[in-house]
Amino acid sequence: MPETPLPFVTRIWFAWLCYFRVLFDGAFAARAFAARLPSPSPAPSPALSPSPALSPALSPSTSSALQLLSLLQREGRLVDFLEQDVAAFPDADIGAAARVVHDGCRKALRAHATIVPIRAEDEEAKLTLEAGFSAAEVKLTGNVGGSPPYKGTLKHRGWRAKELRLPTAVEGHDATILAPAEVEI
Amino acid sequence: MSARFVVGIDLGTTHCALASAPLDDEKARPAILPIAQLVAPGTIEPKPLLPSFVYFAHESEGAQALPWDAARTFVVGEHARARGADAPARVIASAKSWLVHPSVDRRSGILPQGAPDDVEKISPVEASWRLLEHLSEAWDAEHAGAPLAEQEVILTVPASFDAGARELTVEAALAAGIEKLTLLEEPQAALYAWIDAMGDAWRKELRPGDVVLVVDIGGGTSDFSAIAAIEREGSLELVRVAVGDHILLGGDNMDLALAHVARAKLEAQGKEIDRWQMAALVHACRAAKERLLGDAKGDTAPIALGARGAKLVGGALRTELTRAEVTATIVDGFFPDVPPTARPVVRARAALTQLGLPYASDAAITKHLAAFLGRQAGALATLEGFAAANHGDARDRTPTLLHPTAILFNGGVLKADAIRARLVATLGAWLAADGAPPARVLDASDLDLGVARGAAAYGLARRGRGVRIRGGTARAYYVGIESAVPAVPGVEPPITAMCVAPFGMEEGTDASLPPHELGAVVGEPVRFRFFGSTTRREDKPGALLERWKDGELEELAPIEVTLPAEGRREGDVVPVRIRASVTDVGTLLVEAVPLSPNKPDERWRIELSVRGG
């Protein structure tokens, strides 16, 4: 490695090159990320760089959805449960598995999201919707027509995600792996 | 740079937490900083608690990248704990308990025990250093321009930590780059947290004459302290009057005990449980315990365990724990209703020399509590305000145990109403038998994070924003001198203990120099036996004890000094006196001072906590 500083013009060219490579080349970005540290760090091991076959450039929304799936699988075995064909099993077996899924997913959900009902009233309560209510928050069903105020019965309270706190992925982490295969040695 | 924050760090046996308060805001109260950590491969999440586990990743797993270090090869926190079930030989747990292990070299690479050859083992000190380093890095990542090295850090240690373990903790903190450091006892931190949460109202709750028993039951250890409230010059002062022994017994033991009950039930159904399912079972049992001991609804808690493979339905195991089972296992098993004269079963000393953690051999926490209160019955005898009050009242017999007037609980285990109720009832019965009124319960707001918050609150109190707890060192320290008597085969020469540091030395003070001299050989390490006592409050430096009551003095790891040959001949015996002082950080400094110095102020530092046995 040359210890002498590069000429300024070379550095402009190199900075420009780095800009694009960091943006589009995950493995290079991980190396550059490691190189910014003062101590000499060993070259990243192969596991850090994503394998090209599995990791298309993911838009942020895709990767956070994958993270959520991974979280629910890790904490509550949700993917195992949904991927299994349960038709042939007696309800007792499904019940035992459902407890595992429910306990784990509920814990994960509560730890990462704050979910609140949209309407505070009890279900089956009579209520009046004044003009200007949010059509996104309240869906009208049944004999829909005329103009507000509407009188009706609350059939479902609705849910709103007040807050969502998802984990962040480490640079170079392959989010498509929802759960790694496990091999006992 | 001057500090902008005061930071409290709870370096726990099973979890760490960090709280901070800015110094430029008079009204600011301590707030918890969520610690970014790996929770799964490649997944970072900030969480209020950092599990105190260190995992050494295998080469095949690649780097365990953190936002601030892409090339890291080990993991601290949640993911490390999870890997403890998968690959236990690569994980260090309970690093803090290894710091008090008397018969291992705490500076040598011994952890993880039984690790495969590719793992470079680290010392108990380094394991604590890694935990603190992670906290420090997580802090720095959140506070650009105010690194932890520049902040005032209060690090908590169990009250039962002796001088050696405190020094090793400081060593780990300095290695982790924490420079402006002060140690604080955990039960004191819990009381500071309570005072902070109460605001000014605490002065109505605690009055002169009160004695607060702090019962701190964490994941891996139990710790007791007594703090008295006295009136001095018209204002209320708090004094920590007694601390208990280090008991390696906590919530994890309870969850494990319950898991064995559930496992037996599953095995009775003909089901087999593997190691991985056992770890899941412990988690499920913890949840069942919190539910059944927490609120009154329902008499059973279902326990369901997934099989390890992807086929969840059909492979899941199901059983349940009943309230009666949980009560019998946890409340009666760990908190039995015993008389105040009960004492824990003591294990033979030989067993302590095994290489493994010296777990408490008696699981009954109430017996440990009875032993603490019994041993400390005289803790208030010399305290101003108490000496008169206690002897002046109608009781004419001396109390057989220390009489707390209030209890403060700390630690996650004590979230369970049933356990708190049992402790209150048992203590109440003991006090009644002694003719003392029952103790009331002080409401702690946060049993998991109280110590970290309280540590930061202490940092504020120290700057004049609140009351401080006095107390000084919780032990008197003694050096063992072998008496010069003719050797008798099979009989150990009698030993005389010379007090070098009295009980209750405050930070930044020196003990007076004892008149007796010891001989140190130039150029070779000289060892002295070292003792501590949590009950002998009257011994002055230089006091010589030829005999003491059983349990009064506890032998600690030996201390060692090597005199450099500068200006002296190797092999010469130099008469020295031993001087102790307590540093501003809160550690004990023991030095050998030569009687005829070669240069002004000549002295040599004596190493504490060298390997025992």
Model pLDDT, residue A2 = 41
Instruction: Encode pLDDT of B256-313 as tens digits.
Output: 999 999 999 999 988 888 888 888 899 889 888 888 887 667 788 888 888 878 888 8
Nearest-Cα distance to chain A for B74, in Å, is 14
Residue entry with tokens 């603490």: B372
Restricting to A residues 12-31, those with a Cβ less than 8 Å away from any Cβ of B are: 30
**Alpha-carbon torsion (B440, B445, B449, B453), positive or negative:** negative
Rounded to 5 degrees, φ, ψ at B280 are -65, -35
Alpha-carbon distance B450 to B193, whole Å? 6
B308 contacts B277 by C-beta, under 8 angstroms: yes
B191 contacts B227 by C-beta, under 8 angstroms: yes
Residue entry with tokens 């989010």: A175
Q: Hey, are the CB atoms on B308 and A42 less than 8 Å from each other? A: no
What are the tokens at B590?
A: 């023991």
DSSP assignment of B44-77? EEEES-EE--EEE--GGG----BTTBTT--EEES
* A10 HSE (CA, 13 A, CB side): 4
The SS3 of residue B582 is: strand
Model pLDDT, residue B355 = 59
DSSP assignment of B280-299? HHHHHHHHHHHHHHH-SS-S
How far CA B36 is from CA of A36, B66, B71, B152, in Å, comes to 20, 9, 16, 21
Report the pLDDT averaged over residues B65-79.
93
Instruction: Encode pLDDT of B186-213 as tens digits.
Output: 999 999 999 999 988 888 899 999 999 9
Q: Hey, are the CB atoms on A80 and B310 less than 8 Å from each other? A: yes
Instruction: Encode pLDDT of A21-52 as tens digits.
Output: 666 666 666 666 655 555 444 444 444 444 44
Alpha-carbon distance B3 to B421, whole Å? 43
* Chain A positions in Cβ-Cβ contact with residue B313 (cut-off 8 Å): 81, 84, 86, 89, 93-94, 97
DSSP assignment of B115-184? --TTS--B-HHHHHHHHHHHHHHHHHHHSTT--GGGSEEEEEE-TT--HHHHHHHHHHHHHTT--EEEEE
Instruction: Encode pLDDT of B97-117 as tens digits.
Output: 888 887 788 888 988 988 888
Alpha-carbon distance B403 to B393, whole Å? 14
What are the tokens at B225?
A: 């302290």
Instruction: Encode pLDDT of B399-442 as tens digits.
Output: 789 999 999 999 989 988 899 999 999 999 999 998 899 999 99
pLDDT at B487 over 80: no
Q: Please report, to the nearest 10 degrees, the dihedral formed by the alpha carbons of residues A72, A78, A80, A85 taken in order.
A: -160
User: ipTM of the assembly?
Assistant: 0.75
**Greater model confidence, B68 or B102:** B68
CA-based nearest residue in chain A for residue B59: A45
* Chain B positions in Cβ-Cβ contact with residue A173 (cut-off 8 Å): 41-43, 65
Alpha-carbon distance B167 to B152, whole Å? 18
CA-based nearest residue in chain A for residue B307: A97
Asked if A96 is an interface residue toward chain B (Cβ–Cβ < 8 A), one would say yes
How far CA B51 is from CA of B76, B80, B166, in Å, comes to 8, 8, 21
- The residue count for chain A: 185
Nearest-Cα distance to chain B for A150, in Å, is 41
Phi-psi region of B312 (alpha: psi -120 to 50; beta: other; left: phi over 0): alpha
Report the pLDDT averaged over residues B478-487.
78
CB count within 10 Å of CB B18 equals 30
pTM beyond 0.90, yes or no:
no
Report the pLDDT averaged over residues B512-519.
85
Omega cis (within 30) before A149: yes
* Chain A positions in Cβ-Cβ contact with residue B304 (cut-off 8 Å): 96-97, 99-100, 103
pLDDT band at B515 (very low <50, low <70, confident <90, very high): confident
